[in-house]
């Protein structure tokens, strides 16, 4: 039943129009950069945007300018790993058409990551995430160290009231959009 509902929601998410998102992306990145959880992070896991995901190049450049180590996901046989990148120009096309650090990039251990920036097709007001269906981010985040902050980022129309949840799903601590920020409450509800 959950898988059917998630498939329906993925189809719904793919119908949300993209259009020119330049102003919305800039607004979302401003909100992200202002977050204390992001500002104090010394090593941040970024993603390379595909489809209608918020592009993070500006946030990565700003982070590097203040001495933050920037890591990106790398797809491998075992799932996702993380590798350092000192510029977006050093990212190369990897598996699945997603840009990632090259083979020689230094790997980063999960316990070194202070904040994870996580894409999603949809998020809800309880900071649950609906991804593309492979479960790679859920598996990665399950092994993050205690105290690391998973931050979802998307456009405001991609936040819905409630998403179905499976036992293996990992909720975000925050969801940042171009119009608002949702924080997960201690009880699991959104704010």
* pLDDT recorded at residue 132: 84
Grouping H, G, I as helix, E, B as strand and the rest as coil, residue 49 is: coil
Give all domains of the chain, ordered by start, each with its CATH number. Answer: 2-13+25-182 (3.40.50.10420)
Closest CA relative to residue 146, chosen from 188, 168, 114, 174: 114
Count Cβ atoms within 10 A of the Cβ of residue 174 and give its class: 0-12 exposed, 13-18 middle, 19 or more buried. Answer: buried
pLDDT tens, per residue, the chain with 191 residues: 577 888 888 888 877 776 678 899 999 999 999 999 999 999 999 999 988 899 999 999 999 999 999 999 988 877 888 999 887 677 787 777 788 787 888 899 999 999 999 999 999 999 999 998 788 999 999 999 999 999 999 999 999 999 999 899 999 999 999 999 999 985 544 44
Residue 191, pLDDT score = 44
């Amino acid at each position: 039943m959950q898988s059917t509902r998630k498939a329906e929601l993925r189809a719904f998410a793919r119908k949300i129009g993209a259009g020119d998102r330049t102003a919305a992306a800039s607004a979302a990145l401003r909100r992200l950069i202002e977050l204390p959880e992001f500002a104090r992070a010394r090593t941040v896991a970024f993603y390379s945007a595909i489809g209608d995901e918020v592009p993070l190049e500006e946030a990565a450049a700003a982070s590097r300018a203040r001495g933050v180590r920037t890591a990106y996901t790398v797809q491998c046989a075992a799932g996702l790993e993380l590798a350092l990148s000192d510029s977006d120009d050093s990212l190369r096309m990897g598996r699945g058409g997603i840009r990632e650090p090259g083979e020689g990039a230094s790997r980063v251990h999960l316990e070194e990551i202070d904040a994870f920036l996580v894409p999603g097709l949809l998020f809800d007001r309880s900071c649950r995430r609906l991804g593309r269906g492979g479960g790679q981010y859920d598996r990665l985040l399950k092994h993050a160290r205690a105290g690391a902050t998973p931050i979802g980022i998307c456009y405001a129309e991609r936040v819905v009231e409630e998403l179905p949840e499976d036992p293996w799903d990992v909720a975000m601590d925050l969801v940042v959009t171009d119009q608002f920020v949702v924080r997960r409450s201690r009880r699991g509800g959104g704010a």
